Amino acid sequence: MRLMQLVYASRPFGFDELTLTDILLVARRLNKRDAITGSLICREDLYLQMLEGPRAAVTDTYARISRDARHTEVVVLWAGDTTDRLFGDWEMRDDRAQSWMWTREEVSRGAVAEASAQEIRDVFVRLAREPYEQPRYDLKF
Ligand SMILES: Cc1cc2nc3c(=O)[nH]c(=O)nc-3n(C[C@H](O)[C@H](O)[C@H](O)COP(=O)(O)O)c2cc1C
């Protein structure tokens, strides 16, 4: 079956554990309905999400997400066809941004937006191979 993967980055607005819990609860319910899987990388300075599934479902979901007031500066970094899901077991995996990704300084300099499509995809390929660890959100305000 032909599938589409789409990755966007955005800047969280009002990032806290309650907000994330709510986002993930709704995301997983709707993604299950829509045959979407993926991963949401999050930190107080960054959301980086991969959506994968049937093309129409991915574009509809992205359209809803891009209008969401809980983040700003939403930009698509990569979109393309694929035959294999990276996160087939996950209605939406939640991953904390990790040290091998980008530092806060790099994010604030715009490094994520400037990364190549290949670099972006490689982050998710590597992440999909790593064991899932329940994120602990050390929230700083
Ligand atoms: C960072 C972030 C990630 C989200 N991920 C998803 C998702 O994977 N699937 C989804 O259906 N909604 C996701 N949402 C929620 C949507 O923005 C939206 O609230 C939800 O789909 C319900 O749509 P509605 O508000 O138009 O009823 C996400 C929101 C944010 C802020």
Is there a domain that residue 140 lies in? no
C-alpha of residue 68 to centroid of ligand 1, in Å: 7
DSSP, residue by residue, 18-85: HHHHHHHHHHHHHHHHHT-EEEEEEETTEEEEEEEE-HHHHHHHHHHHHT-TTEEEEEEEEEEEESS-
Q: Looking at the predicted structure, is the pLDDT value of residue 134 above 60?
A: yes
Average pLDDT over residues 85-100: 93
Tell me which residue has its CA closest to atom 28 in ligand 1.
65
Is there a domain that residue 137 lies in? no
Q: Establish whether residue 23 lines the binding site of ligand 1, counting it when its CB lies within 6 angstroms of any ligand atom.
A: yes
DSSP 1: -
Select the more confidently predicted residue: 46 or 2.
Answer: 46
pLDDT at position 137: 60
Note the pLDDT tens digit of each residue in 31-79: 999 999 999 999 999 999 999 999 999 999 999 999 999 999 999 999 9
pLDDT at position 141: 39
The number of distinct structural domains making up the chain is 1
Using DSSP, state whether 6 is helix, strand or coil: strand
Is there a domain that residue 135 lies in? no
Is there a domain that residue 138 lies in? no
Note the pLDDT tens digit of each residue in 99-132: 899 999 999 999 999 999 999 999 999 999 999 9
